[in-house]
Amino acid sequence: MSLDKATVRKIGFLARLEIPEEDLDGLAHELNGILGWVEQLSQVNTEGVAPVASVSQMKLFWRDDAVTDGNMPEKVLANAPDAADGYFLVPKVVE
């Protein structure tokens, strides 16, 4: 697959990127190099290789699925612009 200037311009438009006209050729060359590398990956023989999420054998720590307040309400409320009696104070938005 080879990308030309028009395709790179369209990709930039879809990605909401403003790409100057003078950068289109260089960007097309770089993207073609990346796509060529990805095509090389498809040639790797992966038969018999199980998919993995990590290269190391890790076991995740399990915790109880319980709702808590974090055991630090003072620290949490310290970040609030305005607080009183253990609650966040917010401006009234409905009359």
Residues 12 and 6: their CA atoms lie apart, in Å, by: 10
Give residue 66's pLDDT. 85
Domain boundaries, the chain: 5-41
Segment 59-86 shows an average pLDDT of 85
Please tell me the pTM assigned to this model.
0.50
- Which helix (H) or strand (E) segment is 88 a member of? strand 87-88
For 81, which DSSP code?
A: S
Segment 61-90 shows an average pLDDT of 87
Partners of residue 54 on adjacent β-strands = none
Segment 58-86 shows an average pLDDT of 85
pLDDT score of 73 more than 90: no
What are the start-end ranges of the H helices in 1-95? Answer: 5-14, 24-41, 73-78
Please spell the DSSP secondary structure of 50-68, one letter per residue: PP-S-SS---PPP------
